Amino acid sequence: MEILRRQVRCLLPQEEPGGHLAKNAPNRHRRRIVVIILQSDTTKLQYNSIIAKVEELGFTPHPIVGVEKTVIAVIGDKTPDKIEILASMVGVDRIVPIMEPFKLAGKEVMAEPTIIELPGPTYIGGERVAVGAGPCAVESREQYLETARLCKAAGAVFLRGSIFKPRTSPHDFQGLREDGVDLLQEAHETVGLPIVTEVMDPEHVELLDPVVDIFQIGARNMQNFSLLTKVGRTSKPVLLKRGMSATVEDLLMAAEYIIVAGNDQVVLCERGIRTFETATRNTLDISAVPVLKRLSHLPVIVDPSHAGGHRYLVPALAKAAVAAGADGLLIEVHRRPEEALVDGPQALSPDDFAQLMRELKGFAQAAERSL
Ligand code: PEP
Ligand code: MN
């Protein structure tokens, strides 16, 4: 019991050291989170009674399932005696407090990398670099299905294509919007790849949920907290793009909103940030890949298309991303880039994409990955 008391005492707020990033020192109003580490042989029955107890004590349990172990993050204002009850349950190995500002997205809560499973079946976050490709916008049935088929033939494992487009000018093509929903479904059925599409408005989450495999949150919406919460309440993976002026920590905090709403299937996407440089559309922050991989258990992918903004840059940036340890790529491909309604200058032709996929193999191998 004394050991238990000591364990519980070290969870008391006054003993918490500073957070991972000093400027984010623990905030008195921030909810505290502890993680229940389960024993390796905890049974399903024991697991269920731990979850039930967490709820009975008035906390919200957030199970985070790794390949080798499962932990339960517990959110709520804990008193030492409640923690003591949890610590003494059969199946619990130990309870540790989370000090990082991003609690559920951080490595402290789960050291193992998260692997996102997709229908196919395929996955993002494992040993293989997952390449997603497709047009920026779904423009027509022919354009989408033909591009999708060619992307798959070249080795893409998921398909991009948005029907809601966040355009800088309201006078530009805004996407097929509601009229494109059936095309997403048809592409999935005929080509057989999981579909990632952007959702811009919380009101569209229900509309898209039945036809998408991954919700994309675009750079401009990275801190749209009601949208993050809404997709966090679905059971579909979320591809979260880094805002153009967002720090790595802002990105992880945005992921936190999704996870805390109940969805831990988040893929982080570096897509370039705004700098003084104008030679490229954005500046690919290649360091963000190892930084995010160090701080978070979530998979990290790179979008070289929106980073470079010019087709000629895409292969070099894609290779750099793989060399830096990215778990995947998101690449814009159009069957006829010169006719694209959106982002034509950065779109690869299907032939260029197939060529890039061949060239990437060696980079993946050098990074001890497959493609
Ligand atoms: C996109 O993927 O087409 C897109 C709009 O990207 P971002 O949100 O990164 O600008
Ligand atoms: Mn685009």
Query: Is it the case that residue 264 has pLDDT exceeding 90?
Result: yes
305-347-249 Cα angle (round to 5)? 15
For ligand 2, the distance from its centroid to the CA atom of residue 306, given in whole angstroms, is 6
For ligand 1, the distance from its centroid to the CA atom of residue 219, given in whole angstroms, is 6
Residue 313 Cα distances to 304, 316, 344, angstroms:
8, 6, 14
Q: Does ligand 1 lie within 6 Å of residue 334's CB atom?
A: no
Q: Does ligand 1 lie within 6 Å of residue 136's CB atom?
A: yes
Percent of the chain predicted with pLDDT > 90: 80
Task: Name the closest-CA residue to atom 6, ligand 1.
Answer: 218
Q: What is the pLDDT of the chain when averaged over all its residues?
A: 91
Nearest ligand 1 atom to the CA of 166 is: 5
Average pLDDT, integer, range 340-351? 98
Query: Is it the case that residue 235 has pLDDT exceeding 50?
Result: yes
Ion ligand 2: residues, CB within 5 A, are 136, 343
Q: Does ligand 1 lie within 6 Å of residue 331's CB atom?
A: no
Instruction: Please give the pLDDT value at position 16.
Output: 36
pLDDT, tens only, 58-117: 998 998 877 777 899 998 776 788 899 999 999 999 998 888 888 899 998 888 999 999
pLDDT, tens only, 315-329: 999 999 999 999 999
Nearest ligand 1 atom to the CA of 343 is: 3
For ligand 1, the distance from its centroid to the CA atom of residue 271, given in whole angstroms, is 8
Q: Does ligand 1 lie within 6 Å of residue 166's CB atom?
A: yes
Task: Name the closest-CA residue to atom 1, ligand 1.
Answer: 136
Band of pLDDT at residue 44, cut at 50, 70 and 90: very high
Q: Does ligand 1 lie within 6 Å of residue 325's CB atom?
A: no
Q: Which CATH superfamily groups domain 116-366?
A: Aldolase class I (3.20.20.70)
pLDDT, tens only, 5-21: 333 333 333 333 333 44
Ligand nearest to the CA of 166: 1
> Do 116-366 and 2-97 have the same topology in CATH?
no
pLDDT, tens only, 17-39: 333 443 444 455 667 788 999 99
The domain locations on the chain are 2-97, 116-366
Q: Assign domain 2-97 to a CATH class.
A: alpha beta
Instruction: Please give the pLDDT value at position 286.
Output: 98
Other beta carbons less than 10 A from residue 270's beta carbon: 29
Tell me the two tokens of residue 40.
Answer: 């390796």
Instruction: Please give the pLDDT value at position 29.
Output: 63
Span of 24-28, 39-43, 328-332, 346-350 with lowest mean pLDDT: 24-28
For ligand 2, the distance from its centroid to the CA atom of residue 209, given in whole angstroms, is 21
For ligand 1, the distance from its centroid to the CA atom of residue 78, given in whole angstroms, is 40
Ligand nearest to the CA of 281: 1
Task: Name the closest-CA residue to atom 3, ligand 1.
Answer: 136
Whether the CB-CB separation of 78 and 59 falls below 8 Å is answered with: yes
Span of 62-76, 147-161, 174-188, 310-324 with lowest mean pLDDT: 62-76
Average pLDDT, integer, range 341-350? 98
Instruction: Please give the pLDDT value at position 238.
Output: 98
Q: Does ligand 1 lie within 6 Å of residue 204's CB atom?
A: no
Average pLDDT, integer, range 211-227? 98
Q: Does ligand 1 lie within 6 Å of residue 306's CB atom?
A: yes
Q: Does ligand 1 lie within 6 Å of residue 218's CB atom?
A: yes
Spatial CB neighbours of 102, under 8 Å, sequence gap ≥ 6: 249, 252, 253, 255, 256, 295, 296
Picking from 262, 265, 299, 250, the residue whose alpha carbon sits closest to that of residue 102 is: 250
CA distance 232 to 259: 6
Query: Is it the case that residue 154 has pLDDT exceeding 60?
Result: yes
Span of 2-6, 87-91, 212-216, 245-249 with lowest mean pLDDT: 2-6
Query: Is it the case that residue 274 has pLDDT exceeding 50?
Result: yes
For ligand 1, the distance from its centroid to the CA atom of residue 166, given in whole angstroms, is 8
